[in-house]
Structure 1
Amino acid sequence: MRSNSRHFSFNLGYYLLLGFFLIGLGQVYSQTTFTESAGIYGLNVAGTKDGGHAWADYDLDGDFDLVINTNGRGYLMRNDGGTFSDQTATLAPDFLSGTLERTALFVDFNNDGYPDVFRNKHNDLRIYLQDPTTNRFGDGVGGTAPNQRFTSMTDGMNTEGAGALDYDGDGDLDLFVDNHNYGIDILQNDGAGNFTHVTRKADSPNPPYNVGNPT
């Protein structure tokens, strides 16, 4: 009987401690507040509708920089030790045109050690390779155009999310694009950052793809 009493007392004490812990935890969470601070750090994008964003140390200076998509323009924001400065006009002027308000990715597409950029909206995908000597993104004079652009897909185009994966095992990162009601589309990387749209199998509108099988 004494053993059962001790066991009961131990269980009761355990559950009381657990209850006090959970109550305290709830109070901690209930007291958490957040303050809008984007403007302090140079990240106020003037109330535009934000889309995708991505972080990477594009200039390899040891801190994370930022690319932002909005429904008005894109932003390339350089981290200057904790505050950000807009480098778009100088290093990525094509970001200033077009409303590519969906996904943004920083990915090293050509394996040169410098992050490149992918941006998109429903009917426009743009890929910008970074010039390591100037940190400019894109082709043309001073990065005034993307290196590659897709404005149509085989079955239709309404692209949303995107991600990078070496699906064919050749050592470079390919692009997987969520094409809404048209399924998943793959853009295959040739290793130099040039992409080819992989046509889906004729027997299914949304076929599976296997890693290591590029068809």
Structure 2
Amino acid sequence: MELKSCTVYRGGQGEVIEKKSRFIATIEPAASEDEALRVLERLRKKYWDASHHCYAYIIGQENSLMRCSDDGEPAQTAGRPILDVLTGASLHNVIVVVTRYFGGTLLGTGGLVRAYSRAVQEGLAQSVVIEKHPGYQVILTCDYTDVGKIQYLLAQNGISTLNSVYTDTVTLQVLFPRNSFPSRKADIMEATGGRTGFSEPVPVTYADLEGEILLLDQEM
């Protein structure tokens, strides 16, 4: 079973006020630990007068690096709850910094956990989060008599055509979900009597953003 894998396409900011304390969650994509730490340093400078800058970040396709910090809050009341929200949403390559302005009233450990978690959830609600999928980018070559059959099969299976070129033959640049490629290739070859040419599949990662296909990276 394919594990869900999500990332932040466009960051956002959310805010929670609890007993006059302000919790400002800033969420940004980060492809490396250095990039995450630069975001953290920038926010520390921006909110220089805040009480705390608690954070968590997850780096790597397989979440190979995970870090979090309570930044002076009681242990396990800030950094870990922030990280738990991110892992619960299957997010990676992301940093969240929750800046707190103390309002004068102690919230207790339970109150802190709830406030930091809610702030992250508010920030995610203001961000654009995308789910990543493994795929194959393949060039199909066919003649004009077969292109209609191919396009019908692709449409029936929700497979995206990225580009089409019509010369003396038809060339289609197609994005197949990786796990369905063998069966879809077999369907097309059967429908066209084996006349369709297939290039070597190129492994890619992609996402669907409100009907727009985003090619995120090409795997080497």
| Greater C-alpha radius of gyration | 1
TM-score (norm: length of structure 1): 0.19
Structure with higher strand content: 2
Structure having greater relative contact order (Cα 8 Å, sep ≥ 6): 2
